[in-house]
Chain A
Amino acid sequence: MNGENKIKAPANPFQPEPARIVRTYPLTDDVNFFQIRIADMEKALSFQYQTGQFAMISVLGAGEAPFSISSTPSRPGLLEFCIRKAGTVTNALFQMKENDLIGLRGPYGNTFPIEKMQGKDIVIVMGGLGAAPLRSVLLYLLDNRDQFGRVLLLHGAKRPAEMLLREEFFSLKEREDLECYLTVDEDDTGEWPADVGLVTQLFKKLGNINPENTFSLVCGPPIMYKFVLKEILKLNIPKDQILMTLERRMKCGVGKCGHCAIDYIYTCLDGPVFTYWDVIHMRELI
């Protein structure tokens, strides 16, 4: 009756792996870019993740926190993160230098439904730190470009200095197979070479969209969802083809500490990627 019939996950899901900061540099005033490699070579190469997932990063003496993986599984080896200075752990991370050791475990959470997205047009809308999880899927789409239809990117920031990964996005803008629109609410430099205005205003540039054949991926600050979702719904994209990744307090990443609970689910296990249908039928999601 008590026979083992299920293979359980390996020993200790809470145990961080020592990992090294390969490179780190500022993206904006309060966001830094981090390239990280798990110290043990074999474990580094066997770390398999998918777009949309996150990892728990720990700094000795400070603690542990969840961060979206910003790199793409189509370029294995290094893991990349965009991290905003927000509190204890992130402050400690900002103190660290290249070659310093941190702890890392994961990957956790669900993923973007890449298989279902194949052959479809993809509209990605990002604002602020929303670029962190969405960069992963964007690069994945570009690395597997022939598997998808049109790929459109709308990226908004308050001011030029606040746009994450500006240079990278400007060079992507040169690609013919990506329709890339970059906008700032307000151009305080007078030299912004792209759009000025709210990200919602970019929707008129999308041209003809076949809603049934389109997936839209959204991530940004809470206020952005409200307005961007309105625009996406106007396009008539089906509710379960609108995807977003959401943030909650997380202390374990594996469904045990309870902090990320919403309704009857745990964001760390059943999220962080949700559909718009999830959002309207589950309480408290946004």
Chain B
Amino acid sequence: MKIVKLKKTNLFLFLEIISKEADFWAPVKKSPDKHIFEVIEDFSKINLDYTRTILPPKKIMLPSDFNMFQASNTKYTPDFSHVSKKIIFGIHPCDIHALVIMDKFYSHEYNDPYYQKARDNTLILGHSCWPDEYCMCKSTHTHVVKEGYDLFFTDLEDTYVVWIGSSRGDDLIRLKPELFDEDLTDKDIQNFSQRREERDKAFTNDINFEAMPDLMELKYQNLLWDKLGEACLACGSCTNVCPTCNCYNVEDKPILGKNCSNISRCWDSCTLENYSGVAGGENFREKRSDRLKLFYTHKLQSYISKYGKPACVGCGRCVVTCPVDINVYTVSKSLDNEEVDTFWNRLSKEVTK
């Protein structure tokens, strides 16, 4: 791995140079505790002091609604207008891990060109972060990154240690090599290690993800699922904010007055009522609890069985988003027999009173 140094005062200069021909996405503050990824032109709007954005960067690769084809009877013309040259700056390790999971998923058996083209045209410039009480990435081993990015900036007071993760990342550095210092001093290395140690200690959550596949299997009929099903609003927020949720629907939208259609693809959610409905009124997962089981089978079990790691990257978005406290943290803890303070536990206490 090639590692260089950049003075913080030179950051904007560097971004200026590399972002000339690309949409530049970065975290922006929307309210005291809400951040989002947005296309920006004025770098002073970048806010790197954030923990997680509302929506993950998947919205940049595959927007919540985009066109797959312009279709007529005689031709289905692929539409790649959602693809453009992009740079995502300030993306955290968990979200980079999510992209690596997506890379695997979208190339498994069939290659999804809508994802692939967007990914190929996007440069990933990661940035270090500091955990809050909801981050679970240490338990999912996604708090550090080794792949999936072009450059990764670790914040060390007045400098960045910049990890070069790809040949394209190396090209970026070469656009203005004089901004970078190739010699890391002993002091730099010491600072880096110290930061790493302190950050490791700052994690407050510990979830035993290794135990989850077996627990999911053993507790598949557990009453816990009924409680969750009763509380769930089937709102789909958890899947929208999750960086590794990828389900979608396809819609044929006729263009008025013409004999053609836009075939569009929009995010869908396994928590929604009709997700598994088929013709004849049959619905394989009519119950909310059954749909939540599918979500948690995906996050905590199937991916681990297939790829050896969970499909959850521990970003904590579901934790801060679900209005009734159904999230990877509370569900894992409950499966592991720990008492957690949640809306649904309070609800069932109310009921038994």
Residues in A with CB closer than 8 Å to B129 are none
A12 within 8 A of B: yes
Please report whether the interface of chain A is mostly helix, strand, loop or mixed according to DSSP. Answer: loop
Inter-chain contact A101/B276, CB cutoff 8 Å: no
- Tell me the complex Cα distance, A84–B280, Å: 10
A16 within 8 A of B: yes
Interface segment out of the listed B23-31, B191-199, B296-304: B296-304
Inter-chain contact A61/B246, CB cutoff 8 Å: no
Interface segment out of the listed B4-12, B64-72, B316-324, B335-343: B64-72
Inter-chain contact A87/B279, CB cutoff 8 Å: yes
Taking each of A63, A86, A248, A249, which has the highest tally of chain B beta carbons within 10 Å of its own beta carbon?
A249
Which residue from chain A places its CB closest to the CB of B106 in the assembled complex?
A256
- Tell me the complex Cα distance, A222–B246, Å: 29
B278 within 8 A of A: yes
B259 within 8 A of A: yes
Which residue from chain A places its CB closest to the CB of B269 in the assembled complex?
A258
- Name B302's contact: one of A16, A64, A86, A263 (CB within 8 Å): A263
Report B107-121 CB contacts with A as 1/0, cut-off 8 Å: 111111110000000
- Tell me the complex Cα distance, A63–B69, Å: 12
Residues in B with CB closer than 8 Å to A60 are 71-73, 252, 254, 259-261
Residues in A with CB closer than 8 Å to B107 are 8
- Tell me the complex Cα distance, A86–B76, Å: 25
* Chain A contact residue count (CB 8 A cutoff): 41
A251 within 8 A of B: yes
Smallest beta-carbon distance B320→chain A, Å: 24
CB interface residues, B 251-294, toward A, < 8 Å: 251-252, 254, 259-261, 268, 270, 275-280, 282, 284-285, 290, 294
Smallest beta-carbon distance A2→chain B, Å: 8
- Name B73's contact: one of A101, A249, A251 (CB within 8 Å): A101
- Tell me the complex Cα distance, A87–B281, Å: 10
Report A1-25 CB contacts with B as 1/0, cut-off 8 Å: 0100000110111111010000000
- Name B284's contact: one of A101, A103, A248, A257 (CB within 8 Å): A248
Report A34-56 CB contacts with B as 1/0, cut-off 8 Å: 00000100000000000000000
Inter-chain contact B68/A264, CB cutoff 8 Å: no
* Chain B contact residue count (CB 8 A cutoff): 51
A269 within 8 A of B: yes
Report A247-274 CB contacts with B as 1/0, cut-off 8 Å: 1110110111111010110000100000
Residues in B with CB closer than 8 Å to A174 are none
Residues in A with CB closer than 8 Å to B254 are 60-61
Residues in A with CB closer than 8 Å to B282 are 222
- Known A9-B109, A264-B302: A252·B261 in contact at CB below 8 Å: no
Which residue from chain A places its CB closest to the CB of B107 in the assembled complex?
A8
Residues in A with CB closer than 8 Å to B106 are 256
- Tell me the complex Cα distance, A8–B284, Å: 33
Report A61-96 CB contacts with B as 1/0, cut-off 8 Å: 111100000000000000000001011001000000
Smallest beta-carbon distance B238→chain A, Å: 14
A176 within 8 A of B: no
- Tell me the complex Cα distance, A142–B276, Å: 36
Residues in A with CB closer than 8 Å to B72 are 60
Smallest beta-carbon distance B120→chain A, Å: 12
A283 within 8 A of B: yes
Residues in B with CB closer than 8 Å to A263 are 297, 302
Return 25 A-B CB contacts under 8 Å, by A number. A13-B112, A14-B68, A16-B76, A18-B73, A18-B74, A18-B76, A60-B254, A61-B254, A63-B250, A247-B278, A249-B275, A249-B277, A251-B248, A251-B249, A252-B250, A255-B110, A256-B105, A256-B110, A257-B247, A257-B248, A259-B247, A263-B302, A283-B220, A284-B284, A284-B285
Interface of B with A (CB < 8 Å)? Answer: 68-69, 71-76, 78, 105-114, 166, 220, 246-252, 254, 259-261, 268, 270, 275-280, 282, 284-285, 290, 294, 297-298, 301-302, 305-306
**Additional A-B contact list (6), CB under 8 Å, known A255-B108, A264-B306:** A39-B74, A222-B282, A247-B278, A258-B248, A259-B247, A263-B297
Interface of A with B (CB < 8 Å)? Answer: 2, 8-9, 11-16, 18, 39, 58, 60-64, 84, 86-87, 90, 101, 103, 222, 247-249, 251-252, 254-259, 261, 263-264, 269, 283-284
